[in-house]
Chains A and B, each alone.
Chain A
Amino acid sequence: MLLSSRLMILVLLLLSFQAMGAIQEYAFDSEQEEDRFKKLTYEMRCPKCLNSNLAGSDAPIAADLRREIYDQITEGRSNDEIIEFMSSRYGDFILYRPRLTIATFFLWFSPAILLLAGFFIARRMMLASQLSGQNDGALSSEEQDKLQRLLDNQSD
């Protein structure tokens, strides 16, 4: 019992170091640069492992890309430039927050567009059936004359 709890503490201690690993990899001149590094590696997907970000991945390519982001930050490139650099090589796939393109526009907004279209169609159909309902009962004087003529003809 004592042994297993000690083992547990050991495992937890080791885990905490692992979590620090990716961040402590590089030294920055300013806190702002470090924050940008954290944000960028957090929001970019590791192309090898797919379901983890660059910050949390052990894949060799993730380490390469972390170093690339570090180099570009220290060279003074902006976040937009770094994101453009990465997506021109790895596609929008690498961005956990995809940009608005024609494809993503339809993906994100087509449910709303279809819902609105459905709403308008339903409204028009309801109005149409209401209007035809009003017309049903009464005939215009012209129609009344026509009906009378038909009836007269039949009785002949």
Chain B
Amino acid sequence: MANEKKQPMNKRLKLFIPVAVFITMAGFLLFGLTRDPNIVPSALVDKPLPEFSLPGLYPETGEFSRADIVGDILIVNIWGSWCLPCHIEHPFLLEMSEKDPSLTFVGISYDDSMAEDRLFLEERGNPFDYNVVDLGGSLRIDLGVTGAPETFLVDANGMILYRHIGAIDSTIWKNTFEPLLAQIR
């Protein structure tokens, strides 16, 4: 008697399989709607910062390599004085570098505006502990950069934890950088 009752129950459960498949797919599609298709996912997150050997923005500092800057928590900022969002972002970088001396700020500037970049930093302040020029453009390609500004968070082992496209401000810092920093500290 019990066996006879169990059979149709199983059959009835089977009828829910298409509904379950539909709900799963709808869930994925709904999740897809919340993602911004303009944000290119970085292929470099959780990978080590690429090797490089590049001149400093100031001739007296000489060349910099990956080994010279890795060791502290790094905020690597790709910028150029010709880039307007970089102007907008600049006061925030300046504020953060003063507020949090435990972070090492690395400015990677494009190679087409070195004199203007030096002038820009002289006039408005220099938030960077290291000023590196991406001569020839190999580092920005190795970093998978799409344009300026972009900011990478690199941990003390030289691993890239996060990449942000566009200017950073206090809201972005609070929502994305601070939780990641709390994890690695």
Residues of A with Cβ closer than 8 Å to B? 47-48, 50, 59-61, 64-65, 67-68, 87-91, 93, 114, 118
Contacts and interface: CB of A to CB of B under 8 A. Distances in A.
Contact of A89 (B21, B38, B137, B143): B143
21 contacts: A47-B40, A59-B147, A61-B145, A61-B146, A64-B141, A65-B141, A67-B137, A68-B137, A68-B141, A87-B43, A89-B43, A89-B142, A89-B143, A89-B144, A90-B40, A91-B40, A91-B41, A93-B41, A93-B43, A114-B21, A118-B18
Nearest to B148: A60
Most B CB contacts (10 A, CB to CB) among A47, A60, A91, A93 go to A60
Contact of A64 (B21, B41, B140): B140
Given A61-B146, A89-B143, A114-B21, A50 B137 contact: no
B147 A90 contact: no
Interface of B: 18, 21, 37-38, 40-44, 110, 137, 140-147
A88 B43 contact: yes
Contacts of A114: 21
Contacts of A59: 147
